[in-house]
Protein backbone atom coordinates (compact mmCIF):
# COMPACT_ATOMS: atom_id res chain seq x y z
CA UNK A 1 0.00 0.00 0.00
CA UNK A 2 1.46 3.34 -1.06
CA UNK A 3 -0.27 6.23 0.66
CA UNK A 4 -1.07 9.23 -1.48
CA UNK A 5 0.30 12.36 0.18
CA UNK A 6 0.62 11.81 3.90
CA UNK A 7 3.08 14.21 5.57
CA UNK A 8 6.32 12.53 6.60
CA UNK A 9 8.32 14.36 9.30
CA UNK A 10 11.99 13.46 9.02
CA UNK A 11 13.83 16.13 10.97
CA UNK A 12 14.84 15.42 14.54
CA UNK A 13 13.61 12.65 16.78
CA UNK A 14 10.86 12.22 19.32
CA UNK A 15 11.88 10.36 22.45
CA UNK A 16 8.26 10.11 23.57
CA UNK A 17 7.17 6.90 21.87
CA UNK A 18 5.73 3.83 23.61
CA UNK A 19 7.61 0.55 23.76
CA UNK A 20 5.71 -2.74 23.88
CA UNK A 21 5.23 -4.32 27.32
CA UNK A 22 7.97 -6.90 27.91
CA UNK A 23 6.76 -10.46 28.23
CA UNK A 24 3.24 -9.62 27.10
CA UNK A 25 0.96 -12.03 25.25
CA UNK A 26 1.48 -11.59 21.51
CA UNK A 27 -0.50 -12.25 18.33
CA UNK A 28 0.55 -11.91 14.69
CA UNK A 29 -2.42 -11.17 12.42
CA UNK A 30 -1.06 -10.30 8.98
CA UNK A 31 -3.39 -12.68 7.16
CA UNK A 32 -6.55 -11.14 8.58
CA UNK A 33 -7.58 -9.07 11.59
CA UNK A 34 -9.73 -10.54 14.37
CA UNK A 35 -10.43 -10.00 18.05
CA UNK A 36 -7.20 -10.94 19.88
CA UNK A 37 -7.42 -13.99 22.15
CA UNK A 38 -7.61 -13.46 25.93
CA UNK A 39 -4.28 -12.51 27.44
CA UNK A 40 -2.91 -10.89 24.28
CA UNK A 41 -1.60 -7.36 24.80
CA UNK A 42 0.58 -6.89 21.70
CA UNK A 43 -0.85 -7.32 18.18
CA UNK A 44 0.82 -6.99 14.79
CA UNK A 45 -1.34 -6.24 11.76
CA UNK A 46 -0.81 -5.17 8.17
CA UNK A 47 -0.64 -1.48 7.35
CA UNK A 48 -3.97 -1.82 5.52
CA UNK A 49 -5.75 -2.98 8.71
CA UNK A 50 -7.06 -1.03 11.67
CA UNK A 51 -5.32 -1.22 15.05
CA UNK A 52 -6.74 -3.63 17.64
CA UNK A 53 -6.80 -1.21 20.57
CA UNK A 54 -3.98 -3.04 22.36
CA UNK A 55 -0.30 -2.25 21.76
CA UNK A 56 -0.40 -2.29 17.97
CA UNK A 57 2.46 -2.95 15.55
CA UNK A 58 2.03 -1.98 11.89
CA UNK A 59 3.62 -4.24 9.27
CA UNK A 60 5.41 -2.48 6.40
CA UNK A 61 7.39 -4.23 3.67
CA UNK A 62 10.23 -1.72 3.59
CA UNK A 63 12.71 -3.39 1.25
CA UNK A 64 10.53 -5.25 -1.28
CA UNK A 65 7.35 -4.49 -3.17
CA UNK A 66 4.10 -5.74 -1.68
CA UNK A 67 2.29 -8.57 -3.49
CA UNK A 68 0.23 -7.08 -6.30
CA UNK A 69 2.21 -3.80 -6.34
CA UNK A 70 5.20 -4.88 -8.42
CA UNK A 71 3.79 -3.62 -11.71
CA UNK A 72 2.97 -0.27 -10.11
CA UNK A 73 6.58 0.14 -9.00
CA UNK A 74 7.86 -0.88 -12.44
CA UNK A 75 5.56 1.63 -14.12
CA UNK A 76 5.84 4.55 -11.70
CA UNK A 77 9.25 4.06 -10.05
CA UNK A 78 11.26 1.82 -12.42
CA UNK A 79 14.67 2.99 -11.19
CA UNK A 80 13.85 1.92 -7.63
CA UNK A 81 13.41 -1.78 -8.49
CA UNK A 82 16.62 -3.83 -8.47
CA UNK A 83 17.56 -5.29 -11.88
CA UNK A 84 19.73 -8.24 -12.82
CA UNK A 85 22.43 -8.26 -15.49
CA UNK A 86 19.75 -8.67 -18.19
CA UNK A 87 17.76 -5.71 -16.90
CA UNK A 88 14.98 -7.84 -15.45
CA UNK A 89 13.53 -7.05 -12.02
CA UNK A 90 14.94 -9.22 -9.23
CA UNK A 91 12.25 -11.13 -7.35
CA UNK A 92 12.47 -12.76 -3.94
CA UNK A 93 12.87 -16.49 -4.70
CA UNK A 94 10.48 -17.38 -1.85
CA UNK A 95 7.97 -14.66 -2.80
CA UNK A 96 8.16 -14.32 -6.60
CA UNK A 97 5.46 -11.64 -6.62
CA UNK A 98 7.72 -9.34 -4.58
CA UNK A 99 10.55 -7.40 -6.24
CA UNK A 100 13.63 -6.25 -4.34
CA UNK A 101 13.97 -2.50 -4.02
CA UNK A 102 17.28 -1.02 -5.14
CA UNK A 103 18.91 0.47 -2.04
CA UNK A 104 22.36 0.76 -3.64
CA UNK A 105 22.64 4.57 -3.86
CA UNK A 106 21.86 7.41 -1.52
CA UNK A 107 19.52 9.05 -4.04
CA UNK A 108 17.50 5.85 -4.39
CA UNK A 109 17.32 5.36 -0.62
CA UNK A 110 16.03 8.91 -0.22
CA UNK A 111 13.28 8.22 -2.79
CA UNK A 112 12.32 4.86 -1.29
CA UNK A 113 12.19 6.33 2.21
CA UNK A 114 9.99 9.17 1.00
CA UNK A 115 7.56 6.81 -0.75
CA UNK A 116 7.29 4.19 1.99
CA UNK A 117 7.55 6.83 4.67
CA UNK A 118 4.01 7.75 3.64
CA UNK A 119 2.95 4.21 4.59
CA UNK A 120 4.68 4.58 7.97
CA UNK A 121 2.86 7.88 8.39
CA UNK A 122 -0.46 6.22 7.57
CA UNK A 123 0.22 3.73 10.37
CA UNK A 124 0.65 6.62 12.80
CA UNK A 125 -2.51 8.31 11.54
CA UNK A 126 -4.45 5.07 12.02
CA UNK A 127 -3.30 4.86 15.63
CA UNK A 128 -0.59 2.19 15.60
CA UNK A 129 2.01 2.37 18.37
CA UNK A 130 4.92 0.94 16.40
CA UNK A 131 5.99 -0.23 12.97
CA UNK A 132 7.91 -3.33 11.88
CA UNK A 133 9.98 -3.07 8.72
CA UNK A 134 10.21 -6.37 6.87
CA UNK A 135 12.89 -7.83 4.59
CA UNK A 136 15.96 -6.06 5.93
CA UNK A 137 17.93 -8.99 4.53
CA UNK A 138 17.32 -8.36 0.82
CA UNK A 139 21.05 -7.86 0.32
CA UNK A 140 21.47 -11.62 0.88
CA UNK A 141 19.25 -12.25 -2.17
CA UNK A 142 20.75 -9.60 -4.45
CA UNK A 143 23.76 -11.50 -5.86
CA UNK A 144 26.05 -8.87 -4.38
CA UNK A 145 24.26 -5.82 -5.80
CA UNK A 146 23.17 -4.67 -2.34
CA UNK A 147 25.05 -4.62 0.96
CA UNK A 148 24.03 -4.54 4.59
CA UNK A 149 25.35 -0.97 4.75
CA UNK A 150 22.86 0.07 2.06
CA UNK A 151 19.99 -1.47 4.02
CA UNK A 152 21.08 -0.15 7.41
CA UNK A 153 21.12 3.34 5.94
CA UNK A 154 17.56 2.95 4.62
CA UNK A 155 16.47 1.35 7.90
CA UNK A 156 17.79 4.37 9.79
CA UNK A 157 15.69 6.64 7.59
CA UNK A 158 12.58 4.62 8.43
CA UNK A 159 13.47 4.80 12.12
CA UNK A 160 13.77 8.59 12.01
CA UNK A 161 10.35 8.83 10.35
CA UNK A 162 8.74 6.47 12.88
CA UNK A 163 10.28 8.22 15.88
CA UNK A 164 9.35 11.67 14.59
CA UNK A 165 5.75 10.41 14.39
CA UNK A 166 5.82 9.12 17.96
CA UNK A 167 6.11 5.41 17.04
CA UNK A 168 8.64 2.79 18.05
CA UNK A 169 10.19 0.67 15.31
CA UNK A 170 10.96 -3.05 15.25
CA UNK A 171 13.68 -5.00 13.50
CA UNK A 172 12.53 -7.88 11.28
CA UNK A 173 15.07 -10.40 9.91
CA UNK A 174 18.84 -9.98 10.04
CA UNK A 175 19.43 -11.76 13.34
CA UNK A 176 23.21 -11.67 13.14
CA UNK A 177 23.23 -7.90 12.68
CA UNK A 178 20.84 -7.08 15.53
CA UNK A 179 23.26 -4.98 17.56
CA UNK A 180 24.28 -2.98 14.50
CA UNK A 181 20.65 -2.44 13.59
CA UNK A 182 19.89 -1.29 17.13
CA UNK A 183 22.89 1.04 17.34
CA UNK A 184 23.17 2.30 13.75
CA UNK A 185 19.60 2.16 12.50
CA UNK A 186 17.92 2.99 15.79
CA UNK A 187 15.57 0.03 16.16
CA UNK A 188 13.83 -0.32 19.51
CA UNK A 189 12.75 -3.97 19.65
CA UNK A 190 12.43 -7.04 17.42
CA UNK A 191 9.63 -9.02 15.77
CA UNK A 192 11.08 -12.35 14.69
CA UNK A 193 9.98 -15.48 12.85
CA UNK A 194 11.14 -18.99 13.74
CA UNK A 195 14.04 -17.78 15.86
CA UNK A 196 13.94 -21.01 17.90
CA UNK A 197 13.76 -23.19 14.81
CA UNK A 198 16.82 -21.50 13.31
CA UNK A 199 18.67 -20.99 16.61
CA UNK A 200 18.66 -17.19 16.25
CA UNK A 201 16.82 -16.09 19.40
CA UNK A 202 19.98 -15.25 21.34
CA UNK A 203 21.09 -12.77 18.67
CA UNK A 204 17.91 -10.79 19.12
CA UNK A 205 17.86 -11.09 22.92
CA UNK A 206 21.45 -9.84 23.15
CA UNK A 207 20.33 -6.66 21.39
CA UNK A 208 16.83 -6.11 22.77
CA UNK A 209 16.55 -8.09 26.00
CA UNK A 210 12.94 -9.04 26.75
CA UNK A 211 11.61 -6.89 23.91
CA UNK A 212 11.66 -9.75 21.40
CA UNK A 213 8.34 -10.98 19.97
CA UNK A 214 8.69 -14.26 18.09
CA UNK A 215 6.34 -16.18 15.80
CA UNK A 216 6.97 -19.91 15.42
CA UNK A 217 5.23 -21.94 12.71
CA UNK A 218 6.09 -25.44 13.96
CA UNK A 219 4.68 -26.57 17.32
CA UNK A 220 7.83 -28.42 18.35
CA UNK A 221 9.73 -25.13 18.62
CA UNK A 222 7.23 -23.08 20.64
CA UNK A 223 8.52 -24.25 24.02
CA UNK A 224 12.09 -23.33 23.16
CA UNK A 225 10.95 -19.93 21.90
CA UNK A 226 9.00 -19.28 25.09
CA UNK A 227 12.10 -20.08 27.13
CA UNK A 228 14.38 -17.96 24.95
CA UNK A 229 12.56 -14.68 24.31
CA UNK A 230 10.23 -12.28 26.05
CA UNK A 231 7.11 -13.27 24.06
CA UNK A 232 6.34 -16.01 21.56
CA UNK A 233 3.33 -17.39 19.72
CA UNK A 234 2.58 -20.37 17.48
CA UNK A 235 0.69 -19.40 14.31
CA UNK A 236 -0.31 -21.10 11.07
CA UNK A 237 1.99 -20.25 8.19
CA UNK A 238 -0.69 -18.29 6.28
CA UNK A 239 -1.65 -16.30 9.41
CA UNK A 240 -5.35 -16.73 8.66
CA UNK A 241 -8.02 -15.13 10.80
CA UNK A 242 -9.71 -16.89 13.70
CA UNK A 243 -12.61 -19.00 12.47
CA UNK A 244 -10.76 -20.31 9.42
CA UNK A 245 -10.15 -24.09 9.36
CA UNK A 246 -6.39 -23.55 9.10
CA UNK A 247 -6.23 -21.13 12.03
CA UNK A 248 -3.61 -21.96 14.67
CA UNK A 249 -2.87 -19.90 17.76
CA UNK A 250 -1.02 -20.91 20.90
CA UNK A 251 0.85 -18.64 23.26
CA UNK A 252 3.35 -19.36 26.00
CA UNK A 253 1.61 -21.05 28.94
Q: How does pLDDT run across 169-183, given as a tens digit for each residue?
A: 999 989 999 999 999
Which residues make Cβ contacts (< 8 Å) with residue 208, sequence separation at least 6? 171, 178, 182, 187, 188, 189, 190
Here the CATH number for the domain that contains residue 94 is: 3.20.20.70
Closest-CA residue to 211 (of 247, 177, 182, 249): 182
In a domain, 45, yes or no: yes
In a domain, 190, yes or no: yes
User: Quick one: pLDDT at residue 16?
Assistant: 82
User: Quick one: pLDDT at residue 9?
Assistant: 45
Averaged pLDDT score across all residues of the chain: 94
In a domain, 3, yes or no: no
In a domain, 7, yes or no: no
pLDDT at 4 over 60: no
In a domain, 4, yes or no: no
User: Quick one: pLDDT at residue 15?
Assistant: 65
- Give the domain range for residue 217: 25-251
- List the Cα angle 41/45/50 in 5-degree steps: 95
pLDDT at 5 over 80: no
Banded model confidence at residue 253, pLDDT cuts 50, 70, 90: confident
Q: How does pLDDT run across 97-118, given as a tens digit for each residue?
A: 999 999 999 999 999 999 999 9
Closest-CA residue to 171 (of 161, 43, 158): 158
In a domain, 224, yes or no: yes
CA distance 172 to 60: 10
- List the Cα angle 125/126/131 in 5-degree steps: 85
In a domain, 118, yes or no: yes
pLDDT at 222 over 60: yes
Helices 148-164 and 106-126: angle between axes, nearest 10 degrees:
30
In a domain, 18, yes or no: no
Closest-CA residue to 54 (of 43, 46, 65): 43
What 8-state DSSP symbol labels residue 251? E
User: Quick one: pLDDT at residue 7?
Assistant: 41
Is 170 within 8 Å of 190 (Cβ atoms)? yes
Banded model confidence at residue 12, pLDDT cuts 50, 70, 90: very low
Q: How many domains does the chain have?
A: 1
Is 196 within 8 Å of 152 (Cβ atoms)? no
User: Quick one: pLDDT at residue 1?
Assistant: 53
User: Quick one: pLDDT at residue 3?
Assistant: 43
Q: How does pLDDT run across 125-146, given as a tens digit for each residue?
A: 999 999 999 999 999 999 999 9
Amino acid sequence: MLAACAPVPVEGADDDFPLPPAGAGFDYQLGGAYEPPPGVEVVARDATAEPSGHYDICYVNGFQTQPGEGEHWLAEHPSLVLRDADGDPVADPDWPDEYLLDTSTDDKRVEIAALLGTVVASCAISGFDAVEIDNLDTYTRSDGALTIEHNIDLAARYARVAHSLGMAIAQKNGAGSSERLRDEAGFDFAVTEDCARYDECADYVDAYGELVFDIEYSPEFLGDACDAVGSAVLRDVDLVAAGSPEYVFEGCG
